[in-house]
Structure 1
Amino acid sequence: MRWDRFFEDLEDQLAAEWEAERAALDSEAERLRVSRLALRERLVAFAQSAASPLSIELRDGSSLEASVTSVGADWMAVRPLRAHGAAESAVLVPLPAIRSIGAAQGELLRSARPTEPESRLAQRVTFGFALRDLARRRAAVAIGVVSGRALSGTIDRVGADHLDLALHDPDSPRRSAAVTAFRIVSFEAVAWVRVAAAVGVVAP
C-alpha cells in the first residue's frame, strides 16, 4: 500500500507540474497575443459588443461621450450621447486623432479578447473613402481641426490626403451665395467630422 501511495503522490506531483507549465505557456501566449493587439481591434470589439458610451479624448483637445457604431480601415464612426435635446449626429474619427479612451473595467477587458470575424470590406474602407461618400451626397459637415477650431460647410472634393471644404453656415445648403470661403484641409489636421444622423455614414 505504501508503494501505491508513493506512485499516487508522484502522479499528483507530475500532474501539478504539467498544469503549472501549461498555465505558464498559456500566460506567455496571451501576453504575446496582447502585444500584437492594435487599437483598431479594440474598437471593433467595442462596436461588436454594443458597449456603453466611452469617454473619447481627441487630439484637438475635445472629448466625446459616445458609442462606437462601426470601424473602417483607419477610422471609426461613433454616436455621441444626446445633449439638451440636440438632434442626433454621427461623428467620424480618424484613428490617429484618438488620444485616449475611457471605459468600464469589464468592457476594457472584453475589448482585449479575440473578436468575431468582421467583414473584409470594413478593413478596406478608408477615411478618404468615407469622406468621398459625404462629398458625393453634398452633406453639410462640421470638421474639428487639431488647432481646436471647427469648420462648417460642405466637402467639395477629396484628394489622397486632403479635402476641399466650402465654408458656409451649417444650417444653409451649399449655394454660391452662401459660401464665405474655401479651405484645403489635410487629413492629418482632422480630429473629427460631424454629420447629421439623417445623412447617414457609409457603413464599412
Structure 2
Amino acid sequence: MRWDALFRDMEAQLAAAAGLAAESEISDRVRMELRGISLQDRLRSQNGKELLLDLGTAGVLRGILRHVGEGWVVLEQDRGAALAVLSHVVAIRGMDRFASRPAGQVRLGVTSALRSIARDRSAVLIRSAGAAAESALHGTIDRVGSDFLELAVVPSDQPRRSTNVTGVYVLPTATVAALLSQQNGWP
C-alpha cells in the first residue's frame, strides 16, 4: 500500500534525526570532557610508550615515558634518563588518543625533582630553553632554590671534584628545558 511506504519513510527520517541528535549530544559531551583534561592527564596514560619530545632549539628527546610530575616528565633512554620540562616542549609524537583522569596523588614539582637529583649528586647535562642543544652545560647540581639552581660545571669526562670545577652557573629553573643523566657516556 502507498501509505505503508509513506509511513516507513517517515519512520526512517525520524530514526535518522534521532541518530543525528544522539551523535551530536555525544560529540558535545566528549568536547566538554576534553575541556577538563590536561596534557599531564594525557601523558599519564602514555606510561611505557616511546615518545619523541621536540624542545625546539634545545633539541629532541626520545625515550620510554616512565614518570609524569607536575609540569615535567622522565623518559628512559638507551644511555640514561632525561627529565623534560613540559613548558618547553614544542610537540610530542608517539601518543595515542587516551587520557587518564588525575588520581588525586600529590605530584612533585620540577624543583622537587631537581632537589632529588642534587641530593643524588648525579652528573647531568642541562639543555636550556632557547639555546642550541650543543651548548648544553655538563656538571652537577649543587643547590636548588625556589626558582633557580646552581650548577658546578665539570668536563664530561671528569668526576665532580673541586679541582675539576671550571665554573658555577646560576640558572633560573624557568629556563631549564631538559636534564639528561649519564649511564654509558654522553650522547
TM range (shorter): 0.7 to 0.9
Residue 61 of structure 1 and its aligned partner are, at CA, apart by: 3.7
Rounded to whole Å, the distance in 1 between the matches of 2:124 and 2:104 is 27
Please list the CA deviations of residues 90-115 of structure 1 after superposition, one character each: whole Å capped at 9, or x if unmatched: 00001111011223xxx43x2xx332
Residue 134 of structure 1 and its aligned partner are, at CA, apart by: 0.8
Rounded to whole Å, the distance in 2 between the matches of 1:169 and 1:36 is 45
1:97 aligned to 2:80? no
Q: TM-score with structure 2 length normalisation?
A: 0.82
Rounded to whole Å, the distance in 2 between the matches of 1:32 and 1:127 is 30
1:126 to 109, 132, 141: 109
Give the length in aligned residue pairs: 181
Amino acid paired to 1:90: A
Rounded to whole Å, the distance in 2 between the matches of 1:137 and 1:54 is 26
Rounded to whole Å, the distance in 2 between the matches of 1:173 and 1:119 is 40
Residue 78 of structure 1 and its aligned partner are, at CA, apart by: 0.7
Rounded to whole Å, the distance in 2 between the matches of 1:15 and 1:23 is 12
Match of 2:99 in 1: 114
Rounded to whole Å, the distance in 1 between the matches of 2:102 and 2:183 is 27
**Given that residues 93 and 193 in structure 1 are in contact (C-alpha distance below 8 angstroms), is that contact kept between their aligned partners in structure 2?**
yes
Match of 1:76 in 2: 73
Amino acid paired to 1:144: R
Amino acid paired to 2:172: S
Rounded to whole Å, the distance in 2 between the matches of 1:165 and 1:158 is 9
**Given that residues 141 and 170 in structure 1 are in contact (C-alpha distance below 8 angstroms), is that contact kept between their aligned partners in structure 2?**
no
Aligned CA distance change for structure 1 residues 196 and 118 (closer, same or farther; 3 Å) = farther
Match of 2:39 in 1: 39
2:90 aligned counterpart, secondary structure: strand
Amino acid paired to 2:146: A
Residue 69 of structure 1 and its aligned partner are, at CA, apart by: 1.3
1:142 aligned to 2:142? no
Residue 130 of structure 1 and its aligned partner are, at CA, apart by: 0.5
1:24 aligned to 2:24? yes
**Given that residues 59 and 191 in structure 1 are in contact (C-alpha distance below 8 angstroms), is that contact kept between their aligned partners in structure 2?**
no
Provide the aligned C-alpha RMSD in A: 2.6
Amino acid paired to 1:157: R
Residue 5 of structure 1 and its aligned partner are, at CA, apart by: 8.1
Rounded to whole Å, the distance in 2 between the matches of 1:130 and 1:58 is 19
Rounded to whole Å, the distance in 1 between the matches of 2:90 and 2:147 is 21
2:169 to 157, 161, 183: 183
Q: TM-score with structure 1 length normalisation?
A: 0.76
Please list the CA deviations of residues 105-127 of structure 1 after superposition, one character each: whole Å capped at 9, or x if unmatched: xx43x2xx332654603xx2011
**Given that residues 55 and 177 in structure 2 are in contact (C-alpha distance below 8 angstroms), is that contact kept between their aligned partners in structure 1?**
yes
Please list the CA deviations of residues 59-82 of structure 1 after superposition, one character each: whole Å capped at 9, or x if unmatched: 3341122221110011000123x3
User: Runs in 1 of length 4+ with deviation above 3 angstroms?
Assistant: 1-16, 116-119
Percent identity, aligned pairs only, is 33
